[in-house]
């Protein structure tokens, strides 16, 4: 089954508007075959509109890093999927480990976010992944099963054309310790098996599973050779146009 690769840059809490525009516009110029895959950059909220304008007419799409479960109202500090769309986004990241661990977002809330974002028309990169402690205690499969079953509970099968799963082992995020290609493949195959048993073969075969966690230009091509790795969610290496573009170019 060949799935179109999806490579996204998660800029996290980095880059002012000027640097965001500069990075986005440099990435554009460095891509060798941008129409061969889906490419997304996810700047901070305040830079979304400027980056979307910078990338207008290019194949690179823009995504938010989080959103809330209401369209509007008395929810100080939150942003809605409709507002992300209004700023020029096509995507949103939901369930990043930093949202789960630093901000205490639960499987139940993330499931609501996923449903609400999809129903508003945003495509979603839904993140899952185990901590080092969970892996060492032999609980990786349980954790991934729980995150997948609770996270995707009650989602209309027709919505899966706009959902990608990002497998991001927490111990590999921002640490410089990348999962080995075998570790990534094993986890991705396990997640695809979960999709198969919970949602059936068509969804399991077509949903893209990105790997995230210390992806760099020098390890991207090898990770990408795994049959179940369909692209990347890149943090640190996405902040510089040349390294992000090198990863995108390696993913084709």
Per-residue contact track with ligand PGA, 167 to 196, x per CB under 6 A?
-x----xx----------------------
- Taking CB under 6 A as the criterion, the residue among 236, 245, 247, 250 binding ligand PGA is 236
Considering only CA atoms, give the Rg of the chain. 17
168 is catalytic: yes
Whether residue 235 contacts residue 170, with contact meaning beta carbons closer than 8 Å, is answered with no
Of the two residues 166 and 195, which places its CB atom closer to ligand PGA in the complex? 166
CB of 216 to ligand PGA, least distance (A): 8
Q: What are phi and psi of 112, to 5 degrees?
A: -65, -45
Binding range to ligand PGA, per CB under 6 A, among 17-25, 61-69, 128-136, 233-241:
233-241
Of the two residues 10 and 147, which places its CB atom closer to ligand PGA in the complex? 10
Give the residues across from 212 on adjacent strands: 233
Could you please report the per-residue DSSP string of 177-232? Answer: -PPPHHHHHHHHHHHHHHHHHHH-HHHHHHS-EEEESS--HHHHHHHHTSTT--EE
- Interaction between residue 214 and ligand PGA (CB under 6 A): yes
Whether residue 113 contacts residue 94, with contact meaning beta carbons closer than 8 Å, is answered with yes
- Interaction between residue 212 and ligand PGA (CB under 6 A): yes
Give the residues across from 124 on adjacent strands: 92, 163
- Interaction between residue 213 and ligand PGA (CB under 6 A): yes
136 is catalytic: no
Report the interface residues with ligand PGA, using CB under 6 A: 10, 168, 173-174, 212-215, 233-237
């Amino acid at each position: 089954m060949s799935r179109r690769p999806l490579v996204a840059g998660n800029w996290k809490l980095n880059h002012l508007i000027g640097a965001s525009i500069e990075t986005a516009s440099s990435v554009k110029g460095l891509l060798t075959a941008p129409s061969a895959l889906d490419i997304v950059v996810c700047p901070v909220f305040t830079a979304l509109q400027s980056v979307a304008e910078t990338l207008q007419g290019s194949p690179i799409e823009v995504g938010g890093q989080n959103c809330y479960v209401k369209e509007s109202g008395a929810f100080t500090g939150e942003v809605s999927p409709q507002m992300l769309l209004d700023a020029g986004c096509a995507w949103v990241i939901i369930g990043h480990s930093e949202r789960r661990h630093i901000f205490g977002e639960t499987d139940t809330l993330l499931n609501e976010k996923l449903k609400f974002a999809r129903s508003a028309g945003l495509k979603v990169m839904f993140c899952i992944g185990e901590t080092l402690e969970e892996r060492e205690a032999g609980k990786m499969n349980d954790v991934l099963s729980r995150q997948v079953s609770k996270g995707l509970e009650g989602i209309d099968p027709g919505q899966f054309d706009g959902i990608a799963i990002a497998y991001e082992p927490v111990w590999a995020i921002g640490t410089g310790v990348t999962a080995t290609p075998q570790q990534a493949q094993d986890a991705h195959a396990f997640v695809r098996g979960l999709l198969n048993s919970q949602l059936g073969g068509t969804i399991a075969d077509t949903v893209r599973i990105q790997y995230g966690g210390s992806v760099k230009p020098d390890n991207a091509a090898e990770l990408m050779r795994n049959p179940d790795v369909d692209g990347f969610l890149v943090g640190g290496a996405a902040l510089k146009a040349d390294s992000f573009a090198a990863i995108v170019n390696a993913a084709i």
